[in-house]
Amino acid sequence: MIKQIQQVAEVAGYLWQKGWAERNGGNITVNITDELDADMKSRPAIAGPFAIGLTLPYLKGCFFYAKGTGRRMRDLAREPMQNGAIIRICDDCAHYEIIADEVVMPTSELPSHLSVHNYLIAKGSPYKASLHTHPIELVALTHSQKWMEKDVATKVLWSMIPETKAFCPRGLGMVPYMLPGSVELADATIKTIDDNYDVVMWEKHGVFAVDVDIMSAFDQVDVLNKAALIYIASRALGHEPEGMSDEQLAEMSKAFNLPK
């Protein structure tokens, strides 16, 4: 099996175990173009073409693995090829075909995920994976408007434990509530990523993360949610956590050559 798809299966299991993927919640899309040999790329389609609903010129010649519609992460973890699709973007960049052994239709969020991948390729990014999931504590924070203000959550989460800034140096971008799967949400997410964030918080919904592979995207969300857990645990003990000081954060950024 393709290495990146094996990694997707592993991450899908983690998402279920953490309670971040209830029922068929969440989505994963990974650019696997570089892992496919010529024979695989030339396979005839078993279904399609299907309209993406957008024209995405930078995806010409690309292949993706995408979670199937209505499929559960816990099932994908055990049987990734029965719960996900390998798709080929058609030459018109507006349609895709399914080329795997079974017809598994991607989710309705595929156009928004592909829009992000189109943007990533256009800017020369090495990122190949996009992850949408529902981390409980991070979502809980967004039910208070103070956390939705730019970089308020980032500063607090960074201050909870040194590893947060070390492993999530770009922090957490915030997008106000929009209809799940909508073009508007995709556009707002791309705009936030363009503002130099790798992890984007969707108010009262979940997160969208991008990175070089799906495990790295998961790791960023996992670290940020751990910081949220520490914050909430401190509040449960009856006190507002002090957090690391600005001086301590600056010292760590300098020591590890992190963005300020």
| Residue 201: predicted pLDDT | 97
Domain boundary among 93, 113, 134: 134
101 and 142 housed in the same domain: no
User: How far from 208 is each of 40, 45, 116, 185, CA to CA, in Å?
Assistant: 29, 30, 10, 11
> Any idea what the CATH number is for the domain that residue 40 is in?
3.40.225.10
97 and 185 housed in the same domain: no
160 and 196 housed in the same domain: yes
Print the domain residue range for 190.
Answer: 136-260
Tens-binned pLDDT, residue by residue, of the chain (260 aa) = 689 999 999 999 999 999 999 999 999 999 999 999 998 899 999 998 999 999 999 999 999 999 999 999 999 999 999 999 999 999 999 999 999 888 999 998 899 999 999 999 999 999 999 999 999 999 999 999 999 999 999 999 999 999 999 999 999 999 999 998 888 999 999 999 999 999 999 999 999 999 999 999 999 999 999 999 999 999 999 999 999 998 998 888 888 877 76
Domain boundary among 114, 134, 154: 134
83 and 38 housed in the same domain: yes
| Residue 256: predicted pLDDT | 81
Active-site entry in 109, 137, 203, 240:
109
2 and 130 housed in the same domain: yes
* pTM of structure: 0.94
124 and 158 housed in the same domain: no
| Residue 46: predicted pLDDT | 94
95 and 191 housed in the same domain: no
> Does the annotation mark 109 as catalytic?
yes
| Residue 260: predicted pLDDT | 67
17 and 113 housed in the same domain: yes
* Total count of domains within the chain: 2
| Residue 254: predicted pLDDT | 85
Domain boundary among 134, 161, 193: 134
